[in-house]
Structure 1
Amino acid sequence: MKKNQLNTNTTRENELYSSHAADIVAVSAVFVGDMKQRRQKDYVFSWKKALQNQGDTGVKMQYVHCRLVSLEENCGVQYTSSVDFSCLSEAEAHNIIREIARFDEILMDSYKEMEPCILVNYLLKLCGIINRALKTLKVKSSPKEVAEARLALFTAARHTLAAGMNILGLRPLKKM
């Protein structure tokens, strides 16, 4: 993972992986790669596939979590629990809300079927929805009321993602 990060064009010298963070991302990649298949389904393990950093992977989960942490730290508004959620009228916001609302149901389904893939695939879908929303639901350049509502939404999404990752035995990173 450290080698992959060093070979990425977007790497900034002052943000290089620590060995500890690289280990966590590598474990996330292997765990998610392994757990996104149904237990009953045969598959051939491949290090190349397990450690890929493109597509629906543990690397993506860690990246989205770190991106949300960075948003919270650098958006220019403070989180508050008393926001006007009527400001969240965009389809992207509603998509995140709907997906977060499914979390308990997903946990129960995963538990009943004894299939971690249900939770893993839910979290990967949530990551995709969050990524799309981050492109259109700007926090920093929005009016204060809208920015606070969007920040609360993205904070809830990060908490949901982190909770799911913790249940899977993954440690959500704050920086990578």
Structure 2
Amino acid sequence: MVRFLERHRPRPRAAGRTVAVLAVLMVLSGCAATTEPEPTTASSSDGPAPSASPETTPAPEPTTVDPEASAEANLPVFRRVVEDVWGSGDRAAGRAYIDALVTAGFDKAQMELTPDTSTVGNPAESIQFSVRWGDDCLIGQVGPATGEPLSTVVPVLVEGRCLVGETRPIDW
């Protein structure tokens, strides 16, 4: 019996590999996509169909600025405006973002905008624009270098501005 156990005893190296493989499988199983079970329809012989649980619908995003709310509370409006302009034919025009933000209710006097062309006249790799909101800034960035439009809220810079570097006048 002892000889049998010695011949069939797992080798430490193989046992270590087995444990490592099992650990990897456990981690990967936690990453596996889960799917919702498909609803089943009850046949007439099964009795009445169970009632569906009510689905919660998310609250609609605000469509205009709330001057009494925080910058963070107004971020969904800012983000929606940025995404709407990004989806239009004016996606590379800084003025289009400013005009759309004004239409949504943001104060043009509190805005900053970087140039939408480079110093040699080529389209900018990215355009940044901002709205100062008290001690915070709503900032958007779009362009080929960013891929999708980005928007966030950050504190005002020490100089009282939102954007670093050269900005262009918003004089229209």
Length-normalised TM-score, structure 2? 0.23
- Of Structure 1 and Structure 2, the greater strand share is in 2
- Of Structure 1 and Structure 2, the greater helix share is in 1
Length-normalised TM-score, structure 1? 0.23
